[in-house]
Structure 1
């Protein structure tokens, strides 16, 4: 189904690019910096999984669309929510990134378990791990903005700039 901004119900409580352009530009710059050096497929898996966990239809729609446009396997994308059960579909690095994404996104009293961080550290060098962590933090920030502001699935602010 083709979605245009005009065909979507406007459920937005606010639109950060318009109401707070300085903050929005800073977040975009931080997003770009956090993505540098991250394998694009791992980056999309991080964004998809965090968006699933946070219930962010806006970001999930955007990043599933990006992943499909980049040629990622649709069946694999459909299994992201059950990645720990479908381990054969994901590489060691992808599983380490997804596990870290789950724990950073669901950060609780005990933080990120040592074994989860150790697996991530074994899968990524120090710089890559910092970039992966920053990517996880950024999609969680975007999710929180989109969910709080009720951005509708199918809208993509990158198309509206």
Structure 2
């Protein structure tokens, strides 16, 4: 867990916007069905001042018009690609699309963040973590 915590600290200080990272973490958690992480990152987005409408539309960001900017859309699409790598691979077109919005270091950091969230989802689901309000 120390390694994951260290990686999380690195990602937090990477220079990527906290709102972007939280939205990506929420999207990954939605794909993986991690209720604990969905709750945590929804709360985080609210605390960061993101509107309820935008948070609610993260699962369908591609249908949300201009609510998400191009960089956010690229990050969310990349989150989906990396999270679903076992079924979709990483098409060149997806890599080219995200590369148009992120410099090399940013893309590495974003990919680390996505991979880390996938690891946290698997841990939370495996060890039966539940949302804060559902513990009983």
When normalised by structure 1's length, the TM-score is: 0.78
Q: Note the C-alpha offset of 1:109.
A: 4.9
Does residue 91 (structure 1) correspond to residue 81 (structure 2)? The answer is no
Does the 8 A contact of 1:51 with 1:59 survive in 2? yes
RMSD: 1.2
The structure with the larger Rg is 1
Q: Note the C-alpha offset of 1:87.
A: 3.3
Q: More helix by proportion, 1 or 2?
A: 2
d(CA) in 2 for partners of 1:34 and 1:119? 22
- Which residue in the other structure is 1:113 paired with? 91
Does residue 102 (structure 1) correspond to residue 80 (structure 2)? The answer is yes
May I ask how many residue pairs the two structures share in their alignment? 132
Structure 2 unmatched ranges of 5 or more: none
In structure 2, which of residues 31, 34, 38 is the aligned counterpart of residue 56 of structure 1?
34
Structure 1 unmatched ranges of 5 or more: 1-23, 156-161
- Which residue in the other structure is 2:127 paired with? 149
Q: Which whole-Å deviations, capped at 9, do the CAs of 1:5-62 have from their partners, x for residues lacking one? A: xxxxxxxxxxxxxxxxxxx122111111123211111101110000000000101111
Moved >2 Å (runs of 4+): none
